[in-house]
Amino acid sequence: MTEGSSKNPTGSRAFLAEAPFRLQVSTIAIGAVGGLAFWRLGVPAGAMSGAMATVALVGAFPKIATPSIGQLGSFLRYAAMLVSGVSIGTSVTLDTLRNILAYPASVIGMMICVVAMTAASTMISMRFSKWDRETALLAAVPGAMAYILSVVLTSGANAPRVVAVQMFRVFFLVALVPMFVAEAGVPLGSITARPADTLEIFFLECLCGGVVGYLFTRLKIAGGMMLGAMFVSGAFHAAGYAGGRAPTFFLIAGQILIGCWTGSRFVGFDWSRLLREGPSMLGAIGAAVAVSAAFSWSAATLLGLPFGATFLAYSPGGFEAMTVLAMALGFDPFYVAAHHLARFFMLNIGLPLTLSGWLNSKKKT
């Protein structure tokens, strides 16, 4: 693929079209092997990170990937978000409701953090990697992949470089954050040993959550299907109509599907780019992660919240992946989801204005 390709800025088949259903099933089967292996080995959030890593690894070998790996279609992606959202909603407790009081101050800190880590990553890329300002800025913006893809081809930026950073940032966070949290001795959240809800209750939550999630999706709310399912399931548990967790099978299956979805984006990816530009991409990603870690530590200290929760809330990852990761690690997923949703609205309002002003200032100089 050439640098200026206007059809596929990533080099990945995953951004062209969803795969035939046969390949989607094969992808899930491959991801399930890695996800279940990581889960059985006790790796934190292993079902999701293992599935993602396995699918991405198999996708790196074209002769194997072509007949066996493909991008998950809309139906399976929505199923993953629905099941995961319902599973997340079961975590609602009195502590979850109490934590809402800390949301406003924490969200303000997160907004300042977004500006700081975007600026830091942009400056690192421009100063040390010598990237042009459009490429550096678009690569630095956290969690706005849809908008980035819509403007990158008309902005004058190096499209493959921008999207490569955006993709690998999510991969980096999902794969390494659980291990970092565990190895750094950060206490995991209180993963409860409650009995599972009955299948009747779980399927009722999925049915109602699917309806609300569909409405949210039609309204173009970020992660609408997952968010709707979270709210419905959380309401069931807060009102006392349900008191258990999601059945283990569905809990793990949702995480594996999210992992397969993330990993399948790397099918057909130009891995030689990682070898050529690895230090530059790591510099951009590392700057953002370092700034978010500093801000999340400050927020945790000032507000009396677990560092793991604030780190996931402030991290430059995607809404779905970071929320599921919070649940898998035992932190308050509603707290994390609220921050990523707030960031989504912040970026959708502020990023077009920022980018326009940035490009106009370049024309004047």
DSSP, residue by residue, 45-97: THHHHHHHHHHHHHHTSHHHHTTT-----HHHHHHHHHHHHHHHHTT--HHHH
State percent of the chain over pLDDT 90.
29
**Is the confidence at residue 314, as pLDDT, over 60?**
yes
CATH number of the domain within which 93 lies: 1.20.1530
Residues with Cβ < 8 Å from 330, sequence gap 6 or more? Answer: 188, 189, 190, 191
Domain that holds residue 284: 13-364
What integer is the mean pLDDT of 294-318? 90
In a domain? residue 158: yes
Least confident of 84-88, 124-128, 237-241, 304-308: 237-241
How many structural domains are present in the chain?
Answer: 1
Which residues, in sequence order, are CB contacts of 119 under 8 Å at separation 6+? 140
Q: Is 191 a residue whose pLDDT tops 60?
A: no
Mean pLDDT, the chain, as a whole number? 82
Task: With a cut of 90, say whether residue 150 has pLDDT above it.
Answer: no
Between CA 328 and CA 325 the distance in angstroms is 5
pLDDT band at residue 196 using 50, 70 and 90 as cut-offs? confident
pLDDT over threshold 60, residue 189: no
Would 8 be classed as within a structural domain? no
Asked whether residue 3 is domain-assigned, the answer is no
Summarize the confidence of residues 340-351 as an average pLDDT.
Answer: 80
Q: Is residue 207 part of a domain?
A: yes
Q: Which residues pair with 245 in a beta bridge?
A: 196
Q: Is residue 7 part of a domain?
A: no
Alpha carbon 2 to chain centroid, angstroms: 28
**Residue 352, in any domain of the structure:** yes
In a domain, 32, yes or no: yes
Residue 144 half-sphere exposure toward CB, CA atoms < 13 A: 26
- The answer to whether 253 touches 49, Cβ cutoff 8 Å, is no
Residue 1's pLDDT band (cuts 50, 70, 90): very low
Per-residue pLDDT tens over the stretch 79-108: 999 999 998 888 776 666 666 767 888 999
Is pLDDT of 132 > 80? yes
Q: 263 lies in a domain?
A: yes
Q: What's the pLDDT score for residue 292?
A: 93
Task: Specify burial of residue 332 (Cβ count, 10 A radius: 0-12, 13-18, 19+).
Answer: buried
Indicate the range of 3-7, 37-41, 42-46, 211-215 predicted with least confidence: 3-7
pLDDT value, residue 6: 44
